[in-house]
Amino acid sequence: MKYIIGVMGPGEQATDLDRQIAYQLGTLIAQQGWLLLTGGRNVGVMDAASRGAKQANGLTIGILPTPDAVDVSDAIDIVIPTGMGNARNVINILASHVIVACGMGSGTASEVALALKTGKPVVLLNASPTSQAFFQSLSGDVRVAQNVEAAIEQAQTLLGAVIHSS
């Protein structure tokens, strides 16, 4: 079984910094030998992280909201159309061993909240103090990373705990 790291973040609303960080994150995830899972669309954090992973020869999975493979990032190797709209956010979370949220928007917020609800380890990256305060008020288990390298280190630790407990 392969280890899957989910990178969640804004699509059309992603900032330049969100995308830049997501690209680095994708590269480092691939270099660890982990699979990268995203929401699969050809915009924002999903697209940037997948491109970063591909340039490091990683394997990428995209869980699409649409029933067909439309508007999919061309850096996705394994395209999983669901036809379930935002209900695919649940699958993004359940299929990832560790989740890194890069930036914040309403879709990303639903995914972080679902991670907390289902007990999945989640790391916040490039999140505002307001976002951090909110999710930490929901759960003591929310991690915050100050940069991409720290996020990867935290993912390693969290993955170790996942492997250990299974």
Binding site for its own copies (CB under 8 A): 1-2, 4, 35, 61, 63, 67-69, 72, 74, 76-87, 89-91, 94-95, 104-107, 109-110, 113-114, 116-118, 128, 130-131, 133-134, 137-139, 166
User: Which conformational region is residue 122 in: left (phi greater than 0), alpha (psi within -120 to 50 degrees), or beta?
Assistant: beta
> CB of 88: closest distance to its own copies in angstroms?
9
Give the distance, in angstroms, between the CA of residue 28 and the centroid of all CA atoms in the same chain: 13
- Please give the structure tokens belonging to residue 43: 């915009």
N-term to C-term CA, the chain: 12
Contact 60, 53 (CB under 8 A): yes
> CB of 33: closest distance to its own copies in angstroms?
13
* 15 phi/psi in degrees, rounded to 5: -85, 165
Nearer to its own copies, 112 or 148 (CB): 112
> CB of 125: closest distance to its own copies in angstroms?
17
> CB of 96: closest distance to its own copies in angstroms?
10
Nearer to its own copies, 18 or 24 (CB): 18
